[in-house]
Structure 1
Amino acid sequence: MTDGAAAPAPADAPEVPLLARLARLRERVAALVEARSANDPTAADPLRGLYLSDEAVRHHLRRETGHAPAEPETPEGAEDRLHRLALRLGLTSFDVSVLLIAVAPDLDRGFEPLYGYLNDDVSRRRATVGLALDLCGLPTTHADARDAFHRAAPLSACGLLVVEDPERPFLSRSLRVPDRVAAHLLGDDTPDAALDGYVRGLPPFGAGAVSGNGEQAAHQLAKHLAAGPLTVYLREQRQGDGLLFATAALHTAGRDALHFTPGPGGERPDGGDQRPDDPDTTGGGARAGSHGPVAEILREARLLDCAVVVSPLPERPGPLLRALAARDVPVVLAGPNPYDPDWCESDPLVLDVDRLPSGRAEAWSAALGLGAGDDPGFDLAATVGPYRLGGDRIARAARAALDRAAYDGSPVTADHLRLAARQQSASGLERHARRIRPAVDWDDLVLPDGPLGHLRELALRARFRDRVLGDWRLSAGGGRGRGVLGLFAGDSGTGKTLAAEVVAADLGLDLYVVQLSSVVDKFVGETEKNLERIFTEADRTDAVLLFDEADAVFGKRSEVKDAHDRYANMESAYLLQRLEAFDGIALLTTNLRANIDDAFTRRLDLVVDFPFPDAEQRLALWRHSLVHVPCADGIDPTECARDFELAGGSIRSAVVTAAYTAAGRSEPVTTADLLAGARREYRKAGRLVPGEMGF
């Protein structure tokens, strides 16, 4: 035991009872008291600690100089931090001296009683403005020196120094260095606890994430970021592209960055409680309303000599931009809205970010940790093609896929990737549409080769649209989106909705069936607003949007005879414009193709006609419906297929009726049960049953 200290017990030491631990602590305390009182002339003073006599001060000075502790081990690279910080922030030698005077009690407690003595108040153990001036040998009336303690001065403006007690006279105001600054000077770069929930890592920069014109623009921005601090606003066409572009530019410039995610107002982005807005405790300015600890963000960027990337922006970014205005910190903001000069007084550099390639196999391969020649065991490009995830979402999806594969005890498969990608595309569409998780495949479709080929082409377009329309520049221009639009036309029950589900399953996406009850509104303009919410949400979601019975919304325009016709035509005009700018996948179904406006048809990528099945296809449908049903020996649906002209949906209903009948008898399904089910469907449709016509 040395000076009352004891080495920490090893982790595998035997368990010690609590009372025994307290007894050991009492012994260490007694030893420390004895060691100090032996050399302290004020040990017997009954007022010890309430005041400092001259003898006590001389004792402290002798103890500090005569029994100097061993030099602590300095962390690597920490010895020049104060000097480098002064150079970066343009601090004067006087500023450095004041900072050192203010931080001294936080680094060496021997300064506390000495400062108390010099302040003529034993309870005031921090340096004051007057004491700092005295220690620097400057008169208290020196105007330039006094200015160094004002809020706009570098020390306070950069968050390095806090001048407390504003109600006191100027010279007796205390000086405090925030704990984060003191820790940085000692070599500790643990982020400020105030940033928890607001700062996250930038998305990984992978090959192919930014290419073509985007790569050239990122290199140009990198040159300016490397040259010096500036504020940049990146207007993105798709959420996440601005962040990915900023990451590429900063990577090229060789600059680290803090990714700041401001809260929407009143709460933290991680769901925790928002701290109330503090007074200016860091000297760095306001908190920009309730969007987060802006002052601490800027201070952290200054300490680490890095940039600040803000994405996504809050709905009203003006206060945040004004609070982030700093000439010594590079700030890159990304958002979809056009820049508004009212946001701040000094305009940033505004750049438009072109649509970046998404879902590239190279980015997914890097996120999965695959090498250039590694084979994942499936077609990676075709699997990830339908997903429009950015760099950070790709990394998160890859981690989720790897975790799920480890849980299953198998290598990563295409199904793992699809599931993880869908999880990263959380959708608000369920407020407006019914979600269907596809559980079918191409084998469940019984169609002629023509319509089946068109459906496969539709899936192909959805999978490779970024390559064809983006990389190969075959987009029509004029602000048109990269959406895939298809119309399924045919009689009821011919498989239109099932085909939409099969396409969604092939792409690994969820299917959302739009509920017309949540769209159509009797009030003028409300239907368009509801549709806009659906399209906006679908634009940012990887899903297939299905408008069932689409002629209710996409019907033909008519001659204007009254106000109803006029507003109905306005709704159609809105839909025509919105479909052209749509980036998602939308499918329309109708029983009467003639009811769809020709202008909508022109904007569609594919129109698939679903024919009524002939006898051969009906037989295939009957047999397909009976695959998983226990059937009696010798069952033959040929008679049903020949005599009953039913579509696929009606055939399935007939099989369900036959199955219930057989289940009630606890027997397999027979041919008679199938005939009874077919007759039931004929009667439901109001048609004459062949056997009841006397044939």
Structure 2
Amino acid sequence: MSTSSLSSPSSSSSPSSSSSSQAPSPTAARPRDLVATGPARCLLDRLAGLRQTASALVEHRSAGDPTASDPLRGLYMSEEAVRHLLRAWPRAEPDADVPPEVWAPWPEDTGDPDDRLARTAARLHLTELDAAVLLIALAPDLDRAFEPLYGYLNDDVSRRRATVGLALDLCGVPAHLPDARARFHLAAPLRALGLLTVEEDERPLLTRSLRVPDRLTAHLLGDASSDAALLGLLRAMPVPQPHAEHDEGFVRQLAARIGEGPITAYLREHREGDALAVLASALCAAGLDALRFSGPADRVPQLLREARLSGRAVVVSGLPEQPGPMVAELTAATDVTVLLADPRPYDPQWSAHDPLVLQAPRLPAGGTAAWRTALGPAADAFDLAGTVAPYHLGAERIGRAAQAAATLAAFDGTALTAAHVRLAARQQSASGLEQHARRIRPAVTWQDLVLPGAPLAQLRELALRARHRDRVLGAWRLSAGGGRGRGVVGLFAGESGTGKTLSAEVVAADLGVDLYVVQLSSIVDKYVGETEKNLERIFTEADRTDAVLLFDEADAVFGKRSEVKDSHDRYANMESAYLLQRLESFDGIALLTTNLRANIDDAFTRRLDLVVDFPFPDPGQRLALWRHGLSHVPRADGIEVDGLARDFELSGGAIRSAVVTAAYLAAGRDEPVATGDLVEGARREYRKAGRLVPGEASW
């Protein structure tokens, strides 16, 4: 150890000597002057007072210490040093003959708004001793001159941070006082709030090192950035949007409660984004900023510390799969406003500190005002209300969808259109339905349907109900109650090939959503109860997804209940009973198709909004179907389809198959489709059905 080292006093008889080898002094190791303003200036002013205290304590210790000039002091214990310690023991008071005025690490609060240490101590209800300990512990992180001072006072040149004993000495507090020692316990405010770390648990309490988190030091210096441990885990709150009149009262009531002081609340939301929109409006009305967290439970301590330092609320929307540990830690922080949102009901087993449990109002479909704000003037170029009516997106996802729509329009090199908005909205309505259903991106329109007027009008009414169900059943309060949802359920009945699945696709296309065809093989299970579980997953996903759910051949799962003669009948009836209850609370759009309407249980029929019968096409409709199928196919001159429509009684699906067969035959010859190709296609459809081909000789 060099005698000129700042880590220990040198060979002079007193640290106050002018020799370069004397004990550390507050001026000898002072770094070059810093120009500081605002919070940094206030903190450095406090450190200047602490340097005087530490310097006085060094002077006092070195005055009677025979080893003060030993350059190896702190590295070994000489006999003289041991005798000096024995003469000074026992000591009832810390350095009792040091003038009390040197114990001044915490001067009076001047009321300076830039004094973040004083403001933080007041907001977190810290004692003066707590605030002084924080200042002592963070000093080496701001001024290197404190390292040799602390090394000397710790009697160990390698221990250049404050210890528990040194902090108490600098504060003039006896180390044997239980209340003073309790300030360093794990449950004490400094440690419980994440403001102080007491290291080296294996050492005696007085020699344990103290460390202040870098984030706290940065905050006290005026740094407004968030904790680096939360990088990528904080998301912006959505822009507050106007709510329906019957929801405004809830928002005002919640805002008033937030304004009264820290609150812990759990909002159960019907759909993702419902609660977040309400919280954004309530926090804005209460004038409180928030940290919206989306991360693992092990980052909650840093999150709460950040909320305490910045005076913001904590918002967690969408809890992890196992929410217990996170909820328990968040709800235990009664000094911070914590707002939780999740579709699941609150479980008291998650935490011993129950929050205020509320039901978030449903987010109305469309959200035209939010869409108009996000899209800007470009929204005036098309029917915005009609375009966005089927979508139930939160404010955040509306903003993202608006950005995606603008990007799509720029890619196409055109102005923003309703088609861009629909496509972007579908992308934001993520779904897990593909695990149990086949996804279809609709590529058809009403012009692709060839149906009589009555079923066509019913299909348009079905789309109309899907668009306006929130207004009629919600705002106008025409829901039947009893926990019933706001879903739209329709039954398409008719023979195979009459256009049931195509109609479902057209309805989905008109609404601007995807069509999911449920694969019955993926949900029907031989084990008792598993079919219901699979159906529940499908309905739950469909509830939160803007999509049309299609149960093709629905009589397989929606069939009539039978008399119970054995266990198979009993469990089959249990599945039907479950479906009856689930349809009551369904909030999405579900369509059922069947070839035999009589096979559907009457109890299901009562719960249907519409039953659309698809008749077998008559000759006039068959003629329209043949012409529609050939509309994009190269045809030979003089092609004749009137006779085909009259002589071949085919459904719409069979006519399409016949046209496809004819097209392949013509493509093989590299010629346009001729009448003979169409006749052959129609004959094959008859043969596939096992029917006698009519008038075969005349063709």
**Normalising by structure 1, what TM-score?**
0.85
Please give the root-mean-square deviation of Cα atoms over the aligned residues, in Å: 2.1
CA–CA distance in structure 2, aligned partners of residues 684 and 70 of structure 1: 93
1:606 corresponds to which residue?
610
Give the SS at the match of 1:124. coil
CA–CA distance in structure 2, aligned partners of residues 604 and 375 of structure 1: 35
CA apart distance, 1:607: 0.8
* CA 1:142–1:523: 2 relative to 1, 3 Å: closer
Does the Cα contact within 8 Å between 1:57 and 1:117 map onto a contact in 2? no
Does the Cα contact within 8 Å between 2:517 and 2:551 map onto a contact in 1? yes
- 2:391 paired with 1:387: yes
Instruction: Flag the structure with larger Rg.
Output: 2
CA apart distance, 1:48: 3.9
Give the SS at the match of 2:673. coil
**Aligned 1:274-353 pairs, distance under 5 A:** 291-324=297-330, 325-353=332-360
- 2:217 paired with 1:187: no
CA apart distance, 1:219: 1.1
Does the Cα contact within 8 Å between 1:486 and 1:588 map onto a contact in 2? yes
2:373 corresponds to which residue?
366
- 2:262 paired with 1:229: yes
CA apart distance, 1:423: 1.4
Letter in 2 for 1:62: T
**Aligned 1:148-159 pairs, distance under 5 A:** 148-159=183-194
- 2:523 paired with 1:519: yes
CA–CA distance in structure 1, aligned partners of residues 687 and 198 of structure 2: 89
1:460 corresponds to which residue?
464
CA–CA distance in structure 2, aligned partners of residues 692 and 388 of structure 1: 56
2:179 corresponds to which residue?
144
- 2:663 paired with 1:663: no
**Aligned 1:429-448 pairs, distance under 5 A:** 429-448=433-452
1:121 corresponds to which residue?
156
1:11 corresponds to which residue?
none
CA–CA distance in structure 1, aligned partners of residues 379 and 391 of structure 2: 20
User: Per-residue displacement from partner, 1:353-376 (whole Å, max 9, x unpaired)?
Assistant: 232323211111122234xxx753
CA apart distance, 1:610: 1.0
CA–CA distance in structure 1, aligned partners of residues 178 and 532 of structure 2: 65
CA apart distance, 1:473: 0.9
Given candidates 499, 503, 508, the residue that maps to 1:499 is: 503
CA–CA distance in structure 2, aligned partners of residues 176 and 375 of structure 1: 55
Letter in 1 for 2:157: V
1:571 corresponds to which residue?
575
CA–CA distance in structure 2, aligned partners of residues 314 and 657 of structure 1: 53
Letter in 2 for 1:491: E
Letter in 1 for 2:374: A
1:161 corresponds to which residue?
196
Give the SS at the match of 1:537. helix
User: Per-residue displacement from partner, 1:592-635 (whole Å, max 9, x unpaired)?
Assistant: 11111111111111111111111111111111111111111121
Structure 1 unaligned runs (5+)?
1-41, 264-290
CA–CA distance in structure 2, aligned partners of residues 169 and 522 of structure 1: 65
User: Per-residue displacement from partner, 1:620-655 (whole Å, max 9, x unpaired)?
Assistant: 111111111111112121111111111111111111
2:645 corresponds to which residue?
641
Given candidates 284, 292, 305, the residue that maps to 1:251 is: 284
Moved more, 91-100 or 502-511: 91-100
Does the Cα contact within 8 Å between 2:372 and 2:379 map onto a contact in 1? no
Give the SS at the match of 2:314. strand
Does the Cα contact within 8 Å between 2:6 and 2:148 map onto a contact in 1? no
User: Per-residue displacement from partner, 1:1-59 (whole Å, max 9, x unpaired)?
Assistant: xxxxxxxxxxxxxxxxxxxxxxxxxxxxxxxxxxxxxxxxx9xx477466442444557
User: Per-residue displacement from partner, 1:319-355 (whole Å, max 9, x unpaired)?
Assistant: 2222121121111112233333332223222222232
CA apart distance, 1:143: 2.9
CA apart distance, 1:402: 2.2
User: Per-residue displacement from partner, 1:670-693 (whole Å, max 9, x unpaired)?
Assistant: 112111211221222222222237
1:100 corresponds to which residue?
135
1:547 corresponds to which residue?
551
CA apart distance, 1:116: 1.5
Does the Cα contact within 8 Å between 1:214 and 1:353 map onto a contact in 2? no
Does the Cα contact within 8 Å between 1:198 and 1:292 map onto a contact in 2? no
CA apart distance, 1:656: 1.0
CA–CA distance in structure 2, aligned partners of residues 112 and 201 of structure 1: 40
Does the Cα contact within 8 Å between 1:260 and 1:308 map onto a contact in 2? yes
**Aligned 1:206-225 pairs, distance under 5 A:** 206-207=241-242, 210-225=243-258
Does the Cα contact within 8 Å between 2:437 and 2:517 map onto a contact in 1? yes
Count of residues in correspondence between the two structures: 619
* CA 1:666–1:337: 2 relative to 1, 3 Å: closer
CA–CA distance in structure 1, aligned partners of residues 435 and 157 of structure 2: 65
Does the Cα contact within 8 Å between 1:643 and 1:690 map onto a contact in 2? yes
Letter in 2 for 1:665: R
Give the SS at the match of 1:661. helix
**Aligned 1:70-85 pairs, distance under 5 A:** 70-74=34-38, 79-85=114-120
CA–CA distance in structure 2, aligned partners of residues 331 and 375 of structure 1: 36
CA–CA distance in structure 2, aligned partners of residues 57 and 154 of structure 1: 39
Give the SS at the match of 2:148. helix
2:415 corresponds to which residue?
411
Moved more, 87-96 or 293-302: 87-96
CA–CA distance in structure 2, aligned partners of residues 166 and 327 of structure 1: 28
CA–CA distance in structure 2, aligned partners of residues 117 and 296 of structure 1: 33
Does the Cα contact within 8 Å between 2:8 and 2:23 map onto a contact in 1? no
Given candidates 248, 271, 295, the residue that maps to 1:238 is: 271
CA–CA distance in structure 1, aligned partners of residues 661 and 265 of structure 2: 66
Letter in 2 for 1:201: A
1:89 corresponds to which residue?
124
* CA 1:191–1:78: 2 relative to 1, 3 Å: farther
* CA 1:147–1:524: 2 relative to 1, 3 Å: closer
User: Per-residue displacement from partner, 1:41-90 (whole Å, max 9, x unpaired)?
Assistant: x9xx477466442444557533456x850422446998221121111111
Does the Cα contact within 8 Å between 2:184 and 2:191 map onto a contact in 1? yes
Give the SS at the match of 2:516. strand
User: Per-residue displacement from partner, 1:412-439 (whole Å, max 9, x unpaired)?
Assistant: 2212211111111221111111111111
1:173 corresponds to which residue?
208
Does the Cα contact within 8 Å between 1:494 and 1:613 map onto a contact in 2? yes
Moved more, 555-564 or 585-594: 555-564
1:5 corresponds to which residue?
none
Aligned identity (percent) is: 68
* CA 1:540–1:513: 2 relative to 1, 3 Å: same
Letter in 1 for 2:479: S
CA–CA distance in structure 1, aligned partners of residues 634 and 696 of structure 2: 29
Letter in 2 for 1:581: S
Does the Cα contact within 8 Å between 1:204 and 1:395 map onto a contact in 2? no
Does the Cα contact within 8 Å between 2:497 and 2:652 map onto a contact in 1? yes
Does the Cα contact within 8 Å between 1:262 and 1:312 map onto a contact in 2? no
Does the Cα contact within 8 Å between 2:490 and 2:592 map onto a contact in 1? yes
Give the SS at the match of 2:376. coil
Structure 2 unaligned runs (5+)?
41-111
* CA 1:143–1:519: 2 relative to 1, 3 Å: closer
CA–CA distance in structure 2, aligned partners of residues 421 and 305 of structure 1: 35
**Normalising by structure 2, what TM-score?**
0.85
Give the SS at the match of 1:434. strand
Does the Cα contact within 8 Å between 1:377 and 1:413 map onto a contact in 2? yes
Give the SS at the match of 1:660. helix
Does the Cα contact within 8 Å between 1:514 and 1:548 map onto a contact in 2? yes
1:271 corresponds to which residue?
none
Does the Cα contact within 8 Å between 1:194 and 1:296 map onto a contact in 2? yes
CA–CA distance in structure 1, aligned partners of residues 575 and 695 of structure 2: 49
Letter in 2 for 1:297: L
Give the SS at the match of 1:485. strand
1:286 corresponds to which residue?
none
